[in-house]
Amino acid sequence: MSTRTSALDAVVFGVDIQSGDVRGDAPSYALAVYDGEEITRDVVSHRKLRRLIDDEEPAIVATDNMYELAADKDQLIHFLGSLPSGTTLVQVTGAEQPEPLSRVANRHNIPYGKDPMQEAEAAARLAAHNVGHEVSAFTDTTEVKVARGRSTGSGGWSEDRYTRRIHGSVRKRAREVESELEEHNLEYERDVREAYGGFANAVFTVQARPGDIPVSRNRSGDVRVEIERERRDGIEFEPLVKRRDHVIVGIDPGTTTAVAIVGLEGEVLDVWSSRTSDTADVIEWIVERGRPIIVAADVTPIPETVEKFRRSFDAAGWTPESDLPVDEKQHRTREHPYDDDHQRDAMAAALFALDAHEDQFERIADKLPPGIDRGEVTARVVAGEESVEAVLRDLSDDDSGDEEDSTEHEPRELTAEEKRIKDLERQVERLQSHVERLEGRVAERDDRIDELESKLTLARREERTQVRKDREVNRLERKANRLERERDDAREDVESLENKVERMKALWKLDHSNFSDVSAKKEGLVPVKVVEKFTKGAIREADEQYGIASGDVVYIRDASGAGRSTAELLAEFDPRVVLKDGGLSEIADELLFESEIPVGPADDVAMQEVDELAVAREADVEAAIDDWHERAEARKRDRKSAMVDQLISEHRAGDSEV
């Protein structure tokens, strides 16, 4: 639950000026390196300090005055930008108006001495205990830009292809960067400027520091990747931990513990409830959000659990004269959101406690002179039961005792005019040096341009030759791929035809008298076309494999389940006879009967399978056909008899009605 950083988890550099001045030529620094257990001390130059920071990458560089590390704002921003991604600069004495280091150290019970090394050690220990403000000139937003690594050039017949290649490379690299950002679940916005053949550039605004982004600055061939952290408008200070103001805490104990934090002005700062957190978790949650003046409950007497919390914070307690009714609690908390009744009760307790002390808070505020912390005085009056006058006298004594130290801790900043003069002098020097560098660069670039123009002419000739070769290679590759596909298709056709030829050979052997693969004793046999099931798919499959022609003997292994359309499909082949295993549906039997196609049981015909086909004795087949004709004649007679009986019945029924 705590967001505080333990000193044991990181290395802290404490820095204080030892001799000289950062505005001079050779300042030296007292350096105290604190790892949470031991302190290493050294005196280093400014250059060595920077090198140690780059090599060891401490979590914090702590100082009592940030302008001991940089002469002015511009140099300070440059210093902040050069720090490793995981290193922050911390001013332990405060923000824009720092306090004396001695006062801050005494307040936090940190050893302090006036020697520079002792001050550096005190700064390191304070920062390790999360005392101070982080100095920042940059936001946590980083801009990653993917752009062209070279000019697209002008002229030449291959300019379009060259430009398309560069823009295509930029688009490819931009997509790779986007994939890496998504893999690391980083929030970003993308701004793309499209161009011929791809992207001219792509800018990713990432909500993360450069060290958290899985992309590095580089330049390779046609593409360059630039990473720049977003600058703030000025120097900003952020406390290492949130300021813990004095607050009123309402607690509703039980199976579910609820806590509400209310400020002295009546604003509800936070509310929370949990079924699993223990006392330590609740105390830690409260500590992170403020310093309790009053701990309140909504029932009387104060519950034992709430009393324990009150004693933990040495705060005043508050309970109502009688248990607060539900309707009053609902009315008092109506303007504030909450998740459950426990949070409502805790919030109501804190708000009613505020109402009870409102007049006292106002009287205290009226007596306070400007510049005095109202929360500190209110806490000591309410919780410590001191008078306002006694607290003010105590605070005045503390301030006067620190004045001597504050005079000795002289700020090293120049006046505004001196700073302006220094800035202008440095600016003139930089501009003069920059002009000289630019003039030298112009001469070098003129020579370089002549050299590159001659190389460009040669490269364009070579490129045109290579383009023609590439185009011819691509054409031949496409042709080769097409021929390979045609070859594969032809091989598949040949294999299919060879299989069909083998099946036709087997049929031919069965249809002729020599029967080269059947013994002589099997003369008088007829081929039988086997169909696995009485379905349209099985019939078509048999027809594709070895063909079903008119007059063929067809054997159906499983004749059950056939419908009208299946029987009609079989009837279209006009087989000589259909031998079946299994029962035939009435509709299929009727349709084959009407089509005068003989149907008989396969058990009546002795068959022998040869490869995928079968053979049967001609005599058995004829017997099956003759048997079907006899049954067909009997079936027709039965039908006629039934029709005559029906006509007679209908005639008699008509006479009866008359």
The pLDDT tens digits for 252-304 are: 999 999 999 998 888 898 999 999 888 888 988 888 888 899 999 999 999 99
Q: Under a CB-based contact definition with an 8 Å cutoff, are residues 1 and 112 in contact? A: no
**What 3-state class would DSSP assign to 33?**
strand
**Using one digit for the tens of pLDDT, what is the confidence trace for 363-382?**
888 887 755 667 778 888 88
State yes or no: pLDDT of 459 exceeds 60.
Answer: yes
Cα-based distances in Å from 525 to 513, 515, 608, 642 = 9, 9, 10, 41
Looking at this protein, which amino acid is placed at residue 655?
Answer: D
Cα-based distances in Å from 612 to 33, 504, 532, 556, 570 = 90, 11, 11, 14, 20
Return all residues near 429 (Cβ < 8 A) that are at least 6 apart: none
Residue 31 parent element (H or E)? strand 28-34
- Compute the distance between CA of residue 191 and CA of residue 214 in angstroms, rounded to an integer: 19
Return all residues near 209 (Cβ < 8 A) that are at least 6 apart: 85, 140, 142, 229
State yes or no: pLDDT of 330 exceeds 50.
Answer: yes
Q: Chain-wide mean pLDDT for the chain?
A: 83
Q: What's the pLDDT band for 212 if we cut at 50, 70, 90?
A: confident
Alpha carbon of residue 150 to chain centroid: 33
pLDDT of residue 610: 61
Q: Under a CB-based contact definition with an 8 Å cutoff, are residues 274 and 1 in contact? A: no
pLDDT of residue 407: 38
pLDDT of residue 8: 43
Q: Which residue has the higher pLDDT, 90 or 242?
A: 90
State yes or no: pLDDT of 67 exceeds 90.
Answer: no
Q: What's the pLDDT band for 152 if we cut at 50, 70, 90?
A: confident
Which one of 97-106, 330-339, 426-435 scores highest in mean pLDDT?
330-339
In 3D space, the residue among 147, 101, 134 whose CA is nearest the CA of residue 120 turns out to be: 101
Span 37-62, average pLDDT? 90
pLDDT of residue 139: 83
Q: Which residue has the higher pLDDT, 652 or 262?
A: 262
**Which letter does DSSP use for residue 495 in this model?**
H
State yes or no: pLDDT of 521 exceeds 50.
Answer: no
**Using one digit for the tens of pLDDT, what is the confidence trace for 602-637?**
888 888 876 567 888 888 889 889 888 888 888 888
**Using one digit for the tens of pLDDT, what is the confidence trace for 376-403?**
788 888 877 778 788 787 776 655 554 4
pLDDT of residue 244: 65
- Residue 351 — φ and ψ, nearest 5°? -70, -40
**What 3-state class would DSSP assign to 370?**
coil
Looking at this protein, which amino acid is placed at residue 248?
Answer: I
Q: Tell me the H-state helices in 512-607.
A: 536-546, 564-572, 586-594
For residue 44, the cross-strand partners are: 29
pLDDT of residue 508: 62
State yes or no: pLDDT of 522 exceeds 60.
Answer: no
- Compute the distance between CA of residue 197 and CA of residue 199 in angstroms, rounded to an integer: 7
- Compute the distance between CA of residue 146 and CA of residue 173 in angstroms, rounded to an integer: 7
pLDDT of residue 649: 80
Q: Which residue has the higher pLDDT, 386 or 345?
A: 345
State yes or no: pLDDT of 517 exceeds 50.
Answer: no
